[in-house]
Structure 1
Amino acid sequence: MVSISFLKIRTNKMKHFFCALCLLLLTGAALQAAPAAGARYAIRGKLQGMDTGWVYISYHYQETDHIDSTRIAAGNFFISAHLPEPLMVTMKLSGNPQQVSFLAGYDTITVQAAASRLFDAAVSGSPEQDAWMKYREEFMAKVPRRNGRDDTAFVKALENQSEAYVRQYSNWLGAAIVIYDRFISYKGTEKAKVLYEVLDPAVKQSYYGRRIAYYFDAGIRTALGAVAPVFRLPDAAGVMRALQEFRGKYLLVDFWASWCPPCRKENPELVKAYLKYKTKGFDILGVSLDSNKPQWLAAVAKDGLLWTQLCDSNGYDGGVTALYGIKAVPQNFLLDKNGKIIAKNLRGEQLQLTLQAILGQ
């Protein structure tokens, strides 16, 4: 399987830089229970090497992209805009591919940076950001440099320090972020459940706490015998299609992506099953996590995928992947004619053997 992490951490002589391109687009009641009013954030900054231009502050929230902007004058800027609740925001500069992310609340934040090293900006004035930075500066500094992909000592140290941070900073948003990234994103669901109970009630009610709970509930939503959660996504022509349209046949809902080698390796098996059983009441619905549409469609054509293809272009940050608890691909769900889940993650010959038992030779 191919998975993705909310944080990307790399080491260099015991200095750990991690960039949180965050804010997963999660849907459902658990995430809709956010504070309705919110308030305004305020960011004041000084930039070296950039006297004029634009500053952009962006974040994702409840399936919507939010972008605020302000002008830079003599290297200084100030921006204030609505923020529904404390969130991780991303700051970019015009004409500059770099970015920096930090936790913003309703305090006035100060950002000082060289435009050429925006990712290394000094951010102050946000208690939540200060607590978040402790993860990098104190806890991750205790993790040894990774020595190869199968370095179990590195993995163990990373998990231990992540757990220690959550327990010590359980009343800060960073603890919920670490639970999701370090444990849920790496299939450590049982540990995540234990640590979730350590969180302060206010953190549980935050955006990051709610998305943990929403992920836990995915196991119930997609349990065998449950009616598969309904969704709507665009097909290759941009037409919105609903899962309910495909009822009346046995349907394999297949989550995949063009950039996922295990998915591409599995596709020939799906093609065999589709060609053998498509006239016997079987269909496949592909759900791609691709953000690059030409790349997605090229893979569909190259692999000969003849069934309907939809795309959740926000990938692991998408509403449908959150709805189904998808943290790695490939994954699939076999539904009966009424939309009930009767099997999961059928691979290779397993799919054909299952269909043979249901539909005959």
Structure 2
Amino acid sequence: MKLHSRILASAVSVVLLASACNSTPDANSFIVSGEINVESGTIYLQGFRNKMFFVTDSAVIENGKFSFTGSLERSDLFGLTLDREETFSPYYIFLENSAITVKIDTESKRRRAEITGSATNDLFTAYQRADHRTFRIDSFIAANPASPVSAYILYRDYSYQLTREEIDTYVQRLDPSLQDLEYVQTLKELSVTLEKVAIGQPAPDFSSFTPEGEEITLSSRLGNGYVLIDFWASWCGPCRRDNPNIVRVYNDYHAKGFDVFSVSLDEKRDAWLKGIEDDHLTWTHVSDVLFWDSAPAKLYGVRGIPANFLVDKDGVIVAKNLHGEELEKAMAELLK
């Protein structure tokens, strides 16, 4: 049976645990032998898609040990968690068809497992430990064009801050063997989307649901001045820190023709509503509560939040990603 994220796997039973830990996989399979400072319980192997993790397998922890076996078409990113519902911060691991050992210290604040036996994960660990003030994604791709780590980093950590032209350039530098990888396909789609939501283009219309359950369209809020389409989430620290700035600008300029249309990428409705209340956000709010599968976020090519688009009364995008003083200066100029 083929499971999510191109993994063929099944949980190893307790009876087979001892022998599995001493086995050597063939060239088309992997064995993960793990140690964790938890005596018993269940550990989950999660596949990665669209900046989220989803359970693909589980194994029993016995005397602080666990094991997974399976087969991969290519090396890819997975996560290990003790909580089935954990989608945010698992222990990251790039699996490949080899014998891999994992040591997890749940008390460590670094939230990283000690992993050996996966060359792909070694490269990912090197990236994590790099000085990101001087790190260059173009140099990394040039040195590792055929590694899925290059595609993942470009997709996960850089796509939201690159132009369409830069994305196209970097994707072309990746090895042809990676072109069908989900990360790369998403980047290609993003390039097309960014052209559609560039400054000067009409803002794509969409509908979503208010906290009261009413379905409304963006277009129903346009035509009376400037509208800031604000993508945020209650779990997003930078978003919450920017909210007081938006509140201040809204209070100062709403009567002059400025409005906000907030789109949440929350996955839990209660958390979304609490964030609205706690931050005193008194304008229109919508969400499909689908986390990174948010349809409006995909429509606008949003790969990182906070993100926003300023739209004029004619429905044309006139500015993007105005935060802090930038938003206030823009409205002072436009509504003077």
| Superposition TM-score tier, normalisation by shorter sequence | 0.5 to 0.7
Alignment of 1:124-273 (within 5 A): 124=117, 126-136=118-128, 140=130, 143=131, 155=133, 157-159=134-136, 162-181=137-156, 183-187=158-162, 192-237=167-212, 241-243=216-218, 246=221, 251-256=227-232, 259=237, 260=239, 261-273=241-253
Cα distance in 2 for residues equivalent to 1:239 and 1:78: 47
1:179 Cα offset (Å): 2.6
Q: 2:103 matched to 1:89?
A: no
Alignment of 1:1-20 (within 5 A): none
Alignment of 1:71-90 (within 5 A): 71-79=60-68, 87-90=76-79
Is the deviation greater in 185-194 or in 211-220?
185-194
Cα distance in 1 for residues equivalent to 2:271 and 2:75: 35
Q: Cα deviation per residue 1:214-243 (whole Å; 9 max; x = unaligned)?
A: 333332120245343344544324555544
1:305 Cα offset (Å): 3.7
**Quick one: structure 1 residues 169 and 302, their matched pair in 2 at CA, closer, same or farther if it must change by over 3 Å?**
closer
Partner of 2:43: 55
AA partner of residue 307 (structure 1): W
* TM-score (normalizing by structure 1): 0.63
AA partner of residue 270 (structure 1): Y
**Quick one: structure 1 residues 299 and 93, their matched pair in 2 at CA, closer, same or farther if it must change by over 3 Å?**
closer
Is the deviation greater in 197-206 or in 67-76?
67-76
Partner of 1:286: 262
Cα distance in 1 for residues equivalent to 2:152 and 2:50: 17
The 8 Å contact of residues 183 and 191 in structure 1, kept in 2 or not, is answered as no
Gaps of 5+ in 2: 10-29
Cα distance in 1 for residues equivalent to 2:154 and 2:305: 17
Alignment of 1:256-335 (within 5 A): 256=232, 259=237, 260=239, 261-277=241-257, 284-289=260-265, 297=273, 300-301=276-277, 304-311=280-287, 320-326=296-302, 327-329=304-306, 331-334=308-311
Partner of 2:8: 40
The 8 Å contact of residues 229 and 323 in structure 1, kept in 2 or not, is answered as yes
1:210 Cα offset (Å): 2.3
SS at match of 1:348: helix
If asked which structure has higher relative contact order (CA below 8 Å, sep 6+), I would say 1
Partner of 2:115: 122
The 8 Å contact of residues 271 and 305 in structure 1, kept in 2 or not, is answered as no
* TM-score (normalizing by structure 2): 0.67
1:199 Cα offset (Å): 0.7
Structural RMSD (CA): 4.2
**Quick one: structure 1 residues 183 and 60, their matched pair in 2 at CA, closer, same or farther if it must change by over 3 Å?**
closer
User: Identical aligned pairs, as a percentage?
Assistant: 19
Partner of 1:111: 101
The 8 Å contact of residues 55 and 92 in structure 1, kept in 2 or not, is answered as yes
1:56 Cα offset (Å): 0.8
Report the number of matched residues: 295
Q: 2:102 matched to 1:102?
A: no
Cα distance in 1 for residues equivalent to 2:53 and 2:220: 29
Cα distance in 2 for residues equivalent to 1:173 and 1:74: 34
AA partner of residue 114 (structure 2): A
SS at match of 1:197: helix
The 8 Å contact of residues 5 and 49 in structure 2, kept in 1 or not, is answered as no
Q: Cα deviation per residue 1:302-337 (whole Å; 9 max; x = unaligned)?
A: 665433212476767855434423435352231546
